[in-house]
Amino acid sequence: MENIKVILRKNMRQYAMLVALIVIMILFQILTKGILLKPINVHRLILQNSYILILAIGMMFCILSGGNIDLSVGSIVALIGASSALFSITLGLPVILSIFLSLALGVLVGMWQGYWIAYVKIPSFIVTLAGMLVFRGINNLILKGETIALPSLYVTIASGSIPDFIGGKGSSLHMTTIVIGLICAIIYVVLQYRDRQNKLKYNFQVISFRGFVMQSAIMFTIINLFTIWLARANGLPYIIIILLVLILIYAFIANRTVVGRHIYAMGGNSKTAELSGVKTKKLLFMIYANMGLLAAIAGIVFSGRLNSASPIAGDGFELDAIAACFIGGASASGGIGTVPGAIIGGFIMGILNNGMSIMGINVFWQKIVKGLVLLMAVAFDVYSKSKAKSKISYKTEVGKNENVLSGN
Amino acid sequence: MTINILEMKNITKEFPGVKALDDVNLQVKKGQIHALVGENGAGKSTLMKVLSGIYPVGTYSGEIIFDGELCQFKDIKESEGKGIVIIHQELALSPYLTVSENIFLGNERNKRGVINWYDTNVKAMALMKRVGLNIHHDALVKDIGVGHQQLVEIAKALAKDVRLLILDEPTAALNDEDSDSLLELLKELNEKQGITCIIISHKLNEVTKIADEITVIRDGATIETLIEGRDEITEDRIIKGMVGRELKDRYPKREPNIGDVAFEIKNWLVHDPLDEGRVRIKNISLNVRQGEIVGIAGLMGSGRTELAMSIFGRYYGKSIEGKMLKTGESLYVANVSQAIDEGLAYLTEDRKNAGLILSDDIRKNITLSKLGKISSNGVVNLNEEIQVAEEFCKKLRIKATDIYQSTGNLSGGNQQKVIIAKWLFSEPDLLILDEPTRGIDVGAKYEIYTIINQLASQGKSIIVISSELPELLGICDRIYIMNEGELVGELPKEEACQESIMRCIIQSTDRKKAASSMS
C-alpha cells in the first residue's frame, strides 16, 4: 500500500487532470446524447488531434528544459507540407524518399533554432518567434501562395487504417485490430509482472499479488475495450500506431534514461545541473533538434489529413501544443511535467473542441471556453502549490516564535 | 556629555535552528562614527537588518530606541522616514538610469505622480556637490566607476535627510585611493554636517583611522565597545576581541593518517570571465596529500570559491593558466563532467541555488552527478537507484519521511547531507567543500565534521573552504590563507591560530597598500 501512496503523492497533479479528463468525457457524452463515445467519433477524435499530440510531446521537453517554448512549430508544420509538395510533386521524387527528406529538413530546422538558443543564448521566445515568421515565409515562397495536392501515401498515413488480414473485407468487426489489442494487453501484463519480480529481487515493497491481479485485469480490459471500439469503426489507424510508439519512446526517455534525467535536472536548476556535470548547452540544442523532428512528423500527418500542402497549414498549432503541456501539469519554469500529462492535456483540449462542435456551439464560444480551461488548470496548479508552501512556512514561523519566547 | 542617538537593547534574532543574535546591545552617540567589527557570520549584517526594518518588528525580540523614541519598524520605508539609511555592500542602483534619477529613486521629486525634472536635476547637482561627485548628472550609472557609484549611494541617502547613515563594507570593492577619499568624505559629513555613521568593515586599519567608538561582535553577541581616548585602539587589540574564544569539544577527534601528495596545482592563474583583462586568481600553487584535510581561509571576496570552481572543470574563469597534477601525473579537465570522471568533487557554498534541485526528490538529487554508474546504455536502473538512495539516507542519517521527499522541504543540515551524499556517490579522490556547515545548527555541524573525518581516514584528500576560522582550526591539518586572489600564507596545524591567520590577511593588505603608495 505504501507504494501506491507514494505513486499517488508524486503524481497528484497528473491524476487530477486524468480525473478532469474523465469528467469532461462523461459531461460531453451526456451533452452530445451519446455521440462523443460512438466508435466512429472516437476514431475521428484521435485522427483530428494526432498532430497536436505529436507537437505536444516535443513541446513538453522544451518546457521541461527550463520554461523554453517553441512558437515556430505551426510554421514548421506548414514548411514541411510545402517541402513535401516540392520533393514529391515538383521534383517528382519517390514518396518514401520525400518523406525522409522532409523529416531531415525538420531536424535541420530544429538544429538551426537550437544553435541560436543554446549556444548564442538568445531567449527561445525570440528565436522561435523569428522562426515562426521565417518558416511561414519559406512555405509561401515554395507554394507561391497556392494549395498543392499530395500523393495518396500521405493521406494513408494520416487517415488510413491497417488492412484486415484476418476478418477479410466484408466483416463488420475489424478482426486484426482485436487480435493486435489482445497481444498488446498480454505484453503489458507480462511486462508488469516482470517489473514486479524485479522489485521483489531487490527486496522492495510491492503491492499484494491480489492487488496486482486486479490492476492488471483493469488495464487488460481497458486496452481490449479500446481496440474493440476501434474495430467497430474502421479498425486501427496507422496514426495511432505512430502516436503510441512516439509516446512510449519519449515517456521512456523522460523517465528511464540518463538524458531524460538530465533534462529534468536542468529545468529544475540549471546551475546545479551544470555543477553536477550536465552539459546543458548540448542538451538544449538536442531538445530543439528533436522538436524539429517531431514538428516534421506532425507536418507530414497534417498535410496528409488535408490531402494537400497549404499556405495556411498549422496556423495556431503552437499555442494548442503549449496549452496541452500546461493543462497536463507542466511547470512554466521547467523541471516539472510528463509526456502522458501532455497527452492528457491534448485530449482535454481535443474533447472540448469535438464535443462543442457536435453540440453546434459557435466557434467563438469554443475559443472562450478553451482559454478559460487553460487559465483554470494553471491557476489550480499555482493555488495548490502556494497552499502547500504556506503550510510549511507557517510551521517554521510558529517554531521561530517559540524559540524567541524560550530565549527570553 | 554626548547623548545616544541610537540604542539597541537586548536584541535577539533567531533563524530556524540558528541563533543569529543573542542579547545584543549597541549604543551609538550622536555625531560620531561608530564601527562595527566581527568575523563573517558574527551577526553584524543581521543586526543592521533588524535596525533598518528588513527584519520587521515581531521577528526579533528587544528594543530599538532612536532619538529617545521607541521604534517598531515594519519595513525599510519606516526606518528611512526616521532618517536611518543603510547602504549595502551590493549597491542598490539601477544601472540604466542616470545619476540624478538614481539619487531620487523611490523618493522622486513629483507633483501628483509627474516628475519635476528641473527640481530633480537642481537638487541632484546640489547633493552631488555635497559628496564631491564631480561628474555629469545625466551620466548613466552603469558608465561610472564603482567609487563614484558609492558616492551616488551616499548622495541618495542625503536626499532622504539621513540622520544615521549605515555603511556595510563600503570600501570592499574600492581601490585604495577611492577608499581614502570615501573615508575623508565620511569624516567631513560627520564633522561638518553632523551625520552619525555606523560603518561595518573588515579593514581594521580603516576602522582605527576614522572610528570614534568600536563595537566588537562575535557569535551573535556584543563582546565589548572600545572608545577612542579611553581604550587603546590598535588592530591587535581589535583582533583579540574578534577571535578570542576558546575551542570546546565542537570538533570530533581524529588521528590523521597522511600519505603522499595526491593532488597539486602549480602557478594557477585565472582571469575574470566577464572582464578578461582582470586576474582573479594570481599564481596559486598548493597541494593536498592523501588522507589530509586542508583548509583555505580568507575573507569574503578573497577568491576562494573562484579558485575552487576554476579547479572543478574550469566552471569559473577564462584563460586559465597553470598546471594540475594528480598523484604526480599531469591532468587536464576541460569541463565539469570530465572533472567528475577524474575524481574531483566540489560541494558548493550556495546550497539552494547551485547545490540542489529543490523540486526534485532526495533520490534524484543523490544520483545526478554520476547517473552512469547505475545505468547501462543510457537507461537508468530505477531499482538500483532506490537502493543507493536508501543506503545513503541510512549511512548519513538524513532525516526525511522517505527518499521521495522533495529536497526543498528538508532542513538546512539534511539538505547539506543530501549534497554530500551526491558527491560521495560519485566516488571522488579529491573533495572540495565550500562552506560545508554554513547556516547549519551545531548538532548537524558535528555530524558533518564526523563524515569529513571518515572520508579522510579512507584516504581521500579534502579541501575545506570556510569563513569560520574556528572550524578550520578544529578540523584541518594544514591551512592556506588567501587574500585578494593570492595565497598569503600557509600554516601547519600547530602554528595556526585565529590571530596568526588574521595577521597574515591584514599584513598582506597593508603590504599592498604600502607598495601602491610607494609607486
Verify whether the Cβ–Cβ distance A258 to B404 is below 8 Å: no
Could you give the number of structural domains in chain A?
A: 2
pLDDT, tens only, B147-192: 888 889 889 988 888 899 999 888 876 777 788 888 888 888 888 8
Q: Are residues A179 and A133 in the same domain?
A: no
Q: Is the pLDDT of residue B38 over 90?
A: no
Q: Are residues A221 and A128 in the same domain?
A: no
Q: Across all residues in chain B, what is the average pLDDT?
A: 87
For residue A309, the domain's CATH number is 1.10.3470
Q: CA-to-CA distance for A349 and A344, rounded, in angstroms? A: 9
Q: Are residues B340 and B206 in the same domain?
A: no
User: Considering the domain boundaries, does residue A179 fall inside one?
Assistant: yes
Q: Is the pLDDT of residue B133 over 70?
A: yes
User: Considering the domain boundaries, does residue A390 fall inside one?
Assistant: no
Q: Are residues A44 and A136 in the same domain?
A: yes
For residue B9, CA distances in Å to B26, B63, B86, B338 come to 7, 5, 19, 54
pLDDT at A238: 92
For residue B390, the domain's CATH number is 3.40.50.300
Q: Are residues B239 and B294 in the same domain?
A: no
Contact call for residues B481 and B297 (beta carbons, < 8 A): yes
Q: Is the pLDDT of residue B1 over 60?
A: no
Q: Are residues B342 and B397 in the same domain?
A: yes
The ipTM value here is 0.81
| Nearest C-alpha neighbor of B482 from the set B465, B495, B468 | B465
Is A1 touching B (CB cutoff 8 A)? no
Is A262 touching B (CB cutoff 8 A)? yes
Question: Cell numbers 547505475 label which residue?
Answer: B374
- Cell for B146? 564603482
Q: Are residues B238 and B342 in the same domain?
A: no
Q: Are residues B347 and B236 in the same domain?
A: no
Give the domain-ending residue among A236, A259, A278.
Answer: A236
Within chain A, which residues score under 50 in pLDDT? 1, 389-408
Q: Are residues B379 and B492 in the same domain?
A: yes
Closest-CA residue of chain A to B363: A261
Shortest distance, CA A335 to any CA of chain B (angstroms) = 8
Q: Using 50, 70 and 90 to split pLDDT, how confident is the model at B290?
A: very high
Q: Are residues B305 and B201 in the same domain?
A: no
Residues of A in contact with B56 (CB under 8 A): none
DSSP for residue B219? T
Residues of B in contact with A400 (CB under 8 A): 14-16, 59
User: Considering the domain boundaries, does residue B508 fall inside one?
Assistant: yes
Verify whether the Cβ–Cβ distance A331 to B357 is below 8 Å: no
Q: Are residues B376 and B445 in the same domain?
A: yes
pLDDT at B109: 86
Q: What range defines the domain where residue B215 resides?
A: 1-83+164-169+196-244
Q: What range defines the domain where residue A142 resides?
A: 2-160+239-384
Q: Are residues B394 and B452 in the same domain?
A: yes
User: Considering the domain boundaries, does residue B344 fall inside one?
Assistant: yes
Q: Are residues A145 and A273 in the same domain?
A: yes
Q: Are residues B378 and B507 in the same domain?
A: yes
Beta bridge partners of B26: B8
Q: Using 50, 70 and 90 to split pLDDT, how confident is the model at B41?
A: low
Q: Is the pLDDT of residue B47 over 80?
A: yes
Residues of A in contact with B379 (CB under 8 A): 256-258
Is A157 touching B (CB cutoff 8 A)? no
Q: Are residues A292 and A154 in the same domain?
A: yes
Give the domain-ending residue among A236, A270, A291.
Answer: A236
* Section B53-79 average pLDDT: 88
Closest Cβ opposite residue A258 in set B61, B378, B386: B378
Q: Are residues A141 and A190 in the same domain?
A: no
pLDDT at A386: 67
Q: Are residues A262 and A314 in the same domain?
A: yes
- The whole-angstrom distance between residue B478's C-alpha and the CA centroid of its chain comes to 22
User: Considering the domain boundaries, does residue A96 fall inside one?
Assistant: yes
User: Considering the domain boundaries, does residue A81 fall inside one?
Assistant: yes
User: Considering the domain boundaries, does residue A185 fall inside one?
Assistant: yes
pLDDT at A296: 97
The pTM for the full model equals 0.79
**H/E stretch holding B278:** none
User: Considering the domain boundaries, does residue B91 fall inside one?
Assistant: no
Residues of A in contact with B315 (CB under 8 A): 274-275
Closest Cβ opposite residue A271 in set B61, B353, B370: B353
User: Considering the domain boundaries, does residue A143 fall inside one?
Assistant: yes
pLDDT at B366: 95
Q: CA-to-CA distance for B187 and A128, rounded, in angstroms? A: 56
Q: Are residues A75 and A87 in the same domain?
A: yes
Could you give the number of structural domains in chain B?
A: 2
Verify whether the Cβ–Cβ distance B369 to A277 is below 8 Å: yes
User: Considering the domain boundaries, does residue B182 fall inside one?
Assistant: no
Shortest distance, CA A275 to any CA of chain B (angstroms) = 6
Q: Are residues A86 and A135 in the same domain?
A: yes
Q: Are residues A91 and A7 in the same domain?
A: yes
Q: Is the pLDDT of residue B18 over 70?
A: no
Is A153 touching B (CB cutoff 8 A)? no
**CB-based burial label for A199 (10 Å; 0-12, 13-18, 19+):** middle
Q: Are residues A181 and A226 in the same domain?
A: yes
Q: Are residues B238 and B378 in the same domain?
A: no
Q: Are residues A228 and A364 in the same domain?
A: no
Q: Are residues B367 and B424 in the same domain?
A: yes
